[in-house]
Structure 1
Amino acid sequence: MVELILNRGAERRLKRGHLWIYSNEVDTKRSPLKGIDAGSQCQVHDSQGKLLGTAFVNPSQLICGRIVSRNSDFSTDTVCERIQTAFEQRQRYFSHPSYRMVYGDSDWLPGLVVDRFGDYLVVQVSNWGMERYQQTIVDKLVEMVNPKGILLRNDHQGRAVEDMPLVHTVAFGDVPEMVPFEENGVPLLAPVHQGQKTGWFYDHRENRRLLNRWVNGKKVLDLFSYAGGWGIQALANGAAEVVCVDASQQALDWCLLNADHNGFADKLKTIQGKALDVLKGLVAEGERFDAIVLDPPAFIKRRKDHKAGLAAYRHINELAMRLLAKDGLLVSASCSMHLQSDELLDCIRGAAHRLGRPASILASGGQGADHPVHPAIPETNYLKAHFVHLGGNTNK
């Protein structure tokens, strides 16, 4: 097995439990990265030669290595054991078989995501090392879950970054376009073939559950709605009316399908367009909502985008607040790994102050138990949501 020798001091983060190795941490004079095949397993040593573990390596990437074992042993048996462990953990914390079954680094399976939708599974592999175990993964899932179908959604941006082929195929059984599942007791349909990523975003499950307690009889605006994860559950929990906004008409069609699936189609309105444009239009029309969900895609995808992304969060939170009725509720969320929770709170504070509206933070939340945070990898703790009560305008 090829050896990777790290620069002096580069092992500190790994010894604290982190699993990533950056290319500038490798002593390339003693262990050149050039010539190593992407996906190879390499033994990782500190500058003194002490074994730190075994890693998947892709020499062309900034994160050139991902630790998969703290010794020199990693095999098909290891993959199967870790999938089994992740599955048993989800079974312990979820009574219904709708959840993220495997969450990459947090389950010691870097580059692997598996989402379960009852009898159907959607799998994503995002590095060459895990790609070599793809058939093992499928076979283990069939043995363990006995699903009706397994879909490989290996057509995402993560694979393009790793220079991997984009593949979208059914690996086992049959998988319909829309698969049934359940979240917070609400029956839903996920567009697993054509939808974003695996077809659904389970990570906000607990934040949606909290909002569901406070929407009875309310008029709700669901921005960046996708297939209606927030809005449809709000209707199922007594919301009087929900308006879903998304740039994609197809996403809004899925919202309508989910509303009809639950018998609430008459209470759902959809608006197709860019969120900023729609917000400005609704402000001009004098619209008001009792609750607004602001759950945008990541505005800060890279560290260098932080300044511009922070300005975008400030701007969109202020626009949303302009639409919120007195004593209304704003759910302000972010999935940007590079945005800290306190920074989002500061955006909220600043927007409320500029509008002269007293703000109270009722609750703050993160990702659910099927997206466990690895305590040594802050990058696995990416999701944040703040529930904000806004009073009336004190400047009037």
Structure 2
Amino acid sequence: MTLAPLRLNKNEDHRLRAGHVWVFSNEVDNRVTPLTQFEPGQPVLIEDASGHALGTGYVNPGTLISVRLVSRDPKYVLDQSLITHRLNIALSLREKLFDKPYYRLAFGDSDALPGLIVDRYGDIVVVQITTAGMERLKNEIVAALEKVIKPRAILWRNDSPSRELEGLNRYVEPALGEVPDMALVEENGAKFEAPLTTGQKTGWFYDQRLNRKRLQHYVRGAKVLDVFSYLGAFGVQAAIAGAESVICVDSSQKSPEWIQRNAELNNVADKVSVQRDDAFEVLRRLRAERQRFDVVILDPPAFIKRKKDIKEGTLAYQRLNQMAMQVLAKDGILVSCSCSYHLHRDSLRDVLLKGSRHLDRFMEIVEEGHQGPDHPVHPAIPETGYLKAFFCRLLPS
């Protein structure tokens, strides 16, 4: 297959040579290879200013990230064979990590599959495509998955807002077989049902697996408050680990039903209750009622999705964490998470410190968490290391 060349400006090859995998639109030599001559998702041969090949990738002329590197060897293009090969490599890591097939199988650039997310629920697979280059290869992706893991069903969960940046439609539809509304998840010895077609993102948040396991050390005999609970993953696992009582808070219409079902699956329904309301309103109400909890878990959605949201979003994290501290017992554990890449780890630590000082409480960070190993971090792409979790002990000052 002969690929159209895409030439970079002089000295704009250093980022790729240093290990990065993206080319921005201002790095392309538009005099030699105008971006307008390419179709969205078209495979290209990336060249430096002297015409030396840097590797293959695919292009989208209408986006800030114009080119995504696929291979540094010009012989390899993104096709069914390469997707199969890289899925097999990704699978070999997951099979070392997990005894059962419940994990993120492919994490985009971190698994050398830019624009492709694959979550595995036993013999059911949920796939999310976020780039035009991958969208052109839908049939090849399905064929590769059939060869590598032989799923019973595959769901396209292509409703991410980020697709619009690539000029792609948003849709949810089966790609193979009959996809059930709910799928089984096994995690840390617990069983859950996750809504594949109507739930958040791809149904289940595998990235928090290790942090939910860490939680088990702190909850025996405790009163627990799980805020932004979604399916009750933190709260139900806290109940299984010996919590005295758990209140799960979420504003989603279906969350109470999902959480109660998951509590029943694990024989802890008598310990778990649900409050369907805005998280800030619940925290205000609990504070007014002078209720106190031994453990409070905060796992909010991203308050900072773009750089311009940093100031306002940081204030939201500040307010949330301070309110959570106000309902903590005198000797309590706060588990504070953020999936906002733009809120850096040091910034979340500062948020927690400011909150504790404002309330005149002594705080010690006893553990720090991050995303699980089925969400590997690409060392040249900080955005792939997005999840932060702090396990904080708060005491009287």
Separation (CA, whole Å) in 1 of partners of 2:9 and 2:343: 29
- Between stretches 343-352 and 147-156, larger displacement belongs to 147-156
CA contact (8 A) 1:333 1:385 kept: yes
SS, match of residue 68 in structure 2: strand
Any residues of structure 2 matched to 1:18-97 within 5 Å, and which?
18-72=20-74, 73-74=76-77, 75-97=79-101
- Could you tell me how far 1:341 is from its partner in structure 2? 0.5
Aligned to 2:164: 160
CA contact (8 A) 2:126 2:196 kept: yes
Aligned to 1:286: 290
SS, match of residue 292 in structure 1: strand
CA contact (8 A) 2:84 2:148 kept: no
- Could you tell me how far 1:84 is from its partner in structure 2? 1.1
Separation (CA, whole Å) in 2 of partners of 1:168 and 1:217: 42
Separation (CA, whole Å) in 1 of partners of 2:64 and 2:17: 20
CA contact (8 A) 2:228 2:299 kept: yes
Separation (CA, whole Å) in 2 of partners of 1:257 and 1:155: 26
- Could you tell me how far 1:7 is from its partner in structure 2? 2.4
Separation (CA, whole Å) in 1 of partners of 2:64 and 2:289: 48
CA contact (8 A) 1:154 1:168 kept: yes
- Name the % identity: 47
Aligned to 1:205: 209
Aligned to 2:276: 272
Separation (CA, whole Å) in 2 of partners of 1:168 and 1:249: 20
Aligned to 1:348: 352
Aligned to 2:186: 182
1:255 aligns with 2:289: no
Separation (CA, whole Å) in 1 of partners of 2:111 and 2:337: 25
- Could you tell me how far 1:228 is from its partner in structure 2? 1.0
- Could you tell me how far 1:268 is from its partner in structure 2? 1.3
- Could you tell me how far 1:147 is from its partner in structure 2? 2.2
Choose the corresponding residue for 2:147, options 114, 127, 143.
143
- Could you tell me how far 1:29 is from its partner in structure 2? 2.2
Choose the corresponding residue for 1:312, options 312, 316, 326.
316
Separation (CA, whole Å) in 1 of partners of 2:12 and 2:241: 51
- Could you tell me how far 1:168 is from its partner in structure 2? 1.6
Deviations 1:338-391 (A, max 9, x none): 111111001101110110000000010111010011112111111110000000
Deviations 1:198-236 (A, max 9, x none): 101000110110001211111111111111111111111
Separation (CA, whole Å) in 2 of partners of 1:62 and 1:163: 12
Separation (CA, whole Å) in 1 of partners of 2:292 and 2:305: 31
Letter in 1 for 2:60: N
- Between stretches 322-331 and 302-311, larger displacement belongs to 302-311
- Could you tell me how far 1:301 is from its partner in structure 2? 0.7
Aligned to 2:176: 172
- Between stretches 144-153 and 380-389, larger displacement belongs to 144-153
- Could you tell me how far 1:71 is from its partner in structure 2? 2.6
Separation (CA, whole Å) in 1 of partners of 2:357 and 2:370: 25
- Could you tell me how far 1:292 is from its partner in structure 2? 0.6
Separation (CA, whole Å) in 1 of partners of 2:189 and 2:21: 36
CA contact (8 A) 1:206 1:367 kept: yes
Separation (CA, whole Å) in 1 of partners of 2:239 and 2:181: 24
- Between stretches 8-17 and 209-218, larger displacement belongs to 8-17
CA contact (8 A) 1:227 1:255 kept: yes
CA contact (8 A) 1:288 1:325 kept: yes
Any residues of structure 2 matched to 1:382-393 within 5 Å, and which?
382-392=386-396
Choose the corresponding residue for 1:239, options 228, 231, 243.
243
SS, match of residue 65 in structure 1: strand
SS, match of residue 9 in structure 1: coil
CA contact (8 A) 1:17 1:377 kept: no
Aligned to 2:14: 12
Letter in 2 for 1:123: V
Letter in 1 for 2:105: M
- Could you tell me how far 1:144 is from its partner in structure 2? 2.3
Choose the corresponding residue for 2:229, options 214, 221, 225.
225
The two structures have a TM-score, normalised by structure 2, of 0.96
Count of residues in correspondence between the two structures:
393
CA contact (8 A) 1:120 1:150 kept: yes
Aligned to 1:357: 361
1:297 aligns with 2:301: yes
- Could you tell me how far 1:302 is from its partner in structure 2? 0.8
CA contact (8 A) 2:227 2:300 kept: yes
Cα distance change of structure 1 residues 27 and 275 upon mapping to structure 2, 3 Å threshold: same
Letter in 2 for 1:302: R
Separation (CA, whole Å) in 2 of partners of 1:158 and 1:210: 32
Letter in 2 for 1:10: E
Separation (CA, whole Å) in 1 of partners of 2:286 and 2:48: 58
CA RMSD of the aligned region, Å? Answer: 1.3
